A and B are shown apart, each in its own frame.
Chain A
Amino acid sequence: MCDDRENLTKGIASAEGNLNTNLEIGLERCVKCTLPITWETIYFDDDGVCNICKNWNTKQNVVNWEEREKQLLKIFDEVKNKKNSYDCIVPFSGGKDSTFTLWAIVRKYGLKPLVVSFDHGFYRPKTIENRTRTFRELGVDVITFTPNWQVVKRLMLEALIRKGDFCWHCHAGVFAYPMQIAVKFEIPLLIWGEGGGEYEAYFKYEDIEETDEWKFNRRIIMGMRAEDMAGFMGVELRELQTFIYPAKEELERVGIKSIPLGNFIPWDVKKHVEIIKKELGWMEDEIESGFPGQTYEKIECMFTGVRDYIKYLKRGFARITHLTTLDIKHGRMSREEAMELIKKYEGRKPKSLGVLLEYLDINEKEFNEIVLRHLIPPAKPINPKTLLEGNKLWDQDLWFRENK
């Protein structure tokens, strides 16, 4: 594979560039919410307003939530009447969305779920505590699956090289594994968190009938399935068993039905976080790539900071842009205030990068070469040497280290 790395390149990106180049030169942004042109699936109309803003308005005004909740309750009543060992599966990570979903399923809708959690290898200590507290407080059966670490490390590097995104095993595993359990245990109903795609234009509300495998192939797996990966890594397909989507015949035999809860109830994140804090003692944490202080966004994964860092190098924006966008959409912030915050906080190199490099067994120079190759024009190349380093997370020294 190392030889092929040469052949996987050619083209764009030298590492030269200025700090905040993209901000100063003016990466084209939405006039309303500031999302930049390199945001996945975005485009602007003649007035400079992005499609994400437009869809947002549609969703707020057009969906009949009463009708949707009625549909949901009907589905739940049907399954409860069957009195199977489990009414449904709830795929779970421990982040705010899956925690709220599990709470709603148990406390609000009164179902008996089997909780299925995919362990990507990067759960942080506070998240582990949140999980334990949630499981014990709600009283649920839980299966947590941890894939082969040696395989995971190779998958991470392969995905980073080919796509500039090392999280393939997580995306594929989180989506495919619960489906496998649903088939194995013959539990037809799966309840996922938010509808997804509020910030991207991958799916329309009309797609409510499209199959999960279509979504899996379209968006989740980054253009590579287990069958492809096995060839890349030179391993038998069975080594990647966890990441294989069950066959259509199997899903049909069991009658699998996947429900994103966010398609049936309006997704009010702030309200949800309040509920899980109060009912389950769910705790916030700090992250490397957000605003200073505690937050509820993406706190469950060690590498949120590195992910955002890579995004910044590739696309010229990261989490701060995303967060301020939401504030603008909700009328809590002006565009000018947002741009100030982006200038102040975006684009810090995370201290946790060192841990990832250790897992991948590459050095920072190699990392930079790989990532900078994945620049998405019209974003301009950024020189990582010009970026400030962020603060170390309180728990980084507790994380698993290869070299003791």
Chain B
Amino acid sequence: MKIGIVNYSIGNVGSVYSAFKFYKYDTLLIDKPGALADVNIIVLAGVGNFTTAISRLKALNLWDAINEEVLNKKKPVLGICLGMQLFADISYENGENKGFGWIKGKVVRMDCESLRIPHIGWDEVKSSDDKLFKGMRNNFFYFMHSYHFVLEDNDANIATTNYGDLKICSAVKKDNIVGVQFHPEKSQGDGLRFLKNTVEAML
């Protein structure tokens, strides 16, 4: 069983990698489309902005390959933060950009007069999915974002976080696709548990 972390951006790939290694999962970094076929689970993490992420993935010829694996071959995929936002139809960060479109909805700036944006820090995640969120000590996870995924496909919304008047979608799930707005690799024990639960649910 191999987990492949798509290495398309700078940043938290190392932490995500070491989080999976904590459970001794066979984990590798992917920066070539050919390598995707060898892994059982694809992980899309990312720091930065939507525009840069898309252009990098396309430059590495990964965009179409990932789409093929996930949509047609139904390979399990986990998206973290920006990675989850890539699942949307469209994002309005730094212009208009099309996402993978696997889950209907758009990524927009969190605009709320009364709130401090970015949403940074530990916040509570309320989930309807007992498998992915089982055994948690706290149910608080670390968030770090200015944009959020507003779903049209509400069935895919499996967890929410209340930030002031805003109800943020903090996790999505649809068939082989799982995404979280928070950073499990930065959320101590509960974050690790989430990753383990996800891997086990996907296999």
Complex contact flag A–B (Cβ < 8 Å): yes
A residues lining the B interface (CB < 8 Å): 204, 206-207, 210
Q: Which residues of A contact B137 (CB under 8 A)?
A: 204, 206-207
- Pairs of residues from A and B, 4 with the lowest C-beta to C-beta distance, nearest first: A206-B137, A204-B137, A210-B189, A207-B137
Q: Identify which of residues 147-161 in chain B touch chain A, using a CB-to-CB cut-off of 8 Å.
A: none
Shortest Cβ distance from A252 into B: residue: B24
B132 vs chain A, min Cβ distance (A): 18
User: How far apart sit A60 and B137, CA to CA, in the bound complex (Å)?
Assistant: 21
Q: Which residues of A contact B189 (CB under 8 A)?
A: 210
| A and B contact pairs by CB, cutoff 8 A, 4 listed | A204-B137, A206-B137, A207-B137, A210-B189
Shortest Cβ distance from A214 into B: residue: B189
User: How far apart sit A206 and B189, CA to CA, in the bound complex (Å)?
Assistant: 12
B122 vs chain A, min Cβ distance (A): 18
Q: Which residues of B contact A207 (CB under 8 A)?
A: 137
Q: Which residues of B contact A204 (CB under 8 A)?
A: 137
Which of A204, A206, A207, A210 has most B Cβ within 10 Å?
A206
Shortest Cβ distance from B135 into A: residue: A206
Shortest Cβ distance from A206 into B: residue: B137
User: How far apart sit A204 and B137, CA to CA, in the bound complex (Å)?
Assistant: 9
User: How far apart sit A402 and B52, CA to CA, in the bound complex (Å)?
Assistant: 69
A293 vs chain B, min Cβ distance (A): 43
User: How far apart sit A152 and B98, CA to CA, in the bound complex (Å)?
Assistant: 65
B196 vs chain A, min Cβ distance (A): 12
Contact string against A for B residues 171-190, beta-carbon threshold 8 Å, 1 for contact and 0 otherwise = 00000000000000000010
Shortest Cβ distance from A207 into B: residue: B137
Q: Which residues of B contact A206 (CB under 8 A)?
A: 137
User: How far apart sit A204 and B189, CA to CA, in the bound complex (Å)?
Assistant: 13
B115 vs chain A, min Cβ distance (A): 29
B19 vs chain A, min Cβ distance (A): 15
Contact string against A for B residues 183-203, beta-carbon threshold 8 Å, 1 for contact and 0 otherwise = 000000100000000000000
Shortest Cβ distance from A210 into B: residue: B189
User: How far apart sit A210 and B137, CA to CA, in the bound complex (Å)?
Assistant: 11
Contact string against A for B residues 61-87, beta-carbon threshold 8 Å, 1 for contact and 0 otherwise = 000000000000000000000000000
A248 vs chain B, min Cβ distance (A): 10
B23 vs chain A, min Cβ distance (A): 12
User: How far apart sit A204 and B135, CA to CA, in the bound complex (Å)?
Assistant: 13
User: How far apart sit A316 and B111, CA to CA, in the bound complex (Å)?
Assistant: 50
User: How far apart sit A210 and B193, CA to CA, in the bound complex (Å)?
Assistant: 12
A25 vs chain B, min Cβ distance (A): 36
Q: Which residues of B contact A210 (CB under 8 A)?
A: 189
User: How far apart sit A207 and B137, CA to CA, in the bound complex (Å)?
Assistant: 9
B137 vs chain A, min Cβ distance (A): 6
Contact string against A for B residues 100-139, beta-carbon threshold 8 Å, 1 for contact and 0 otherwise = 0000000000000000000000000000000000000100
Shortest Cβ distance from A204 into B: residue: B137
A143 vs chain B, min Cβ distance (A): 33
Shortest Cβ distance from B22 into A: residue: A248
A134 vs chain B, min Cβ distance (A): 38
User: How far apart sit A395 and B180, CA to CA, in the bound complex (Å)?
Assistant: 64
B108 vs chain A, min Cβ distance (A): 38
User: How far apart sit A207 and B189, CA to CA, in the bound complex (Å)?
Assistant: 10
User: How far apart sit A80 and B137, CA to CA, in the bound complex (Å)?
Assistant: 34
B105 vs chain A, min Cβ distance (A): 35
B200 vs chain A, min Cβ distance (A): 16
A189 vs chain B, min Cβ distance (A): 22
User: How far apart sit A210 and B189, CA to CA, in the bound complex (Å)?
Assistant: 9
Shortest Cβ distance from B193 into A: residue: A209
User: How far apart sit A81 and B53, CA to CA, in the bound complex (Å)?
Assistant: 56
A69 vs chain B, min Cβ distance (A): 23
B135 vs chain A, min Cβ distance (A): 8
User: How far apart sit A325 and B137, CA to CA, in the bound complex (Å)?
Assistant: 29
User: How far apart sit A376 and B189, CA to CA, in the bound complex (Å)?
Assistant: 30
User: How far apart sit A210 and B190, CA to CA, in the bound complex (Å)?
Assistant: 12
Shortest Cβ distance from B136 into A: residue: A206
User: How far apart sit A275 and B38, CA to CA, in the bound complex (Å)?
Assistant: 62
A187 vs chain B, min Cβ distance (A): 24
User: How far apart sit A189 and B189, CA to CA, in the bound complex (Å)?
Assistant: 24
User: How far apart sit A206 and B136, CA to CA, in the bound complex (Å)?
Assistant: 9
User: How far apart sit A210 and B135, CA to CA, in the bound complex (Å)?
Assistant: 13
A214 vs chain B, min Cβ distance (A): 9
Q: Identify which of residues 17-73 in chain B touch chain A, using a CB-to-CB cut-off of 8 Å.
A: none
B20 vs chain A, min Cβ distance (A): 16
B133 vs chain A, min Cβ distance (A): 15
Shortest Cβ distance from B189 into A: residue: A210
User: How far apart sit A44 and B53, CA to CA, in the bound complex (Å)?
Assistant: 49
User: How far apart sit A306 and B58, CA to CA, in the bound complex (Å)?
Assistant: 68
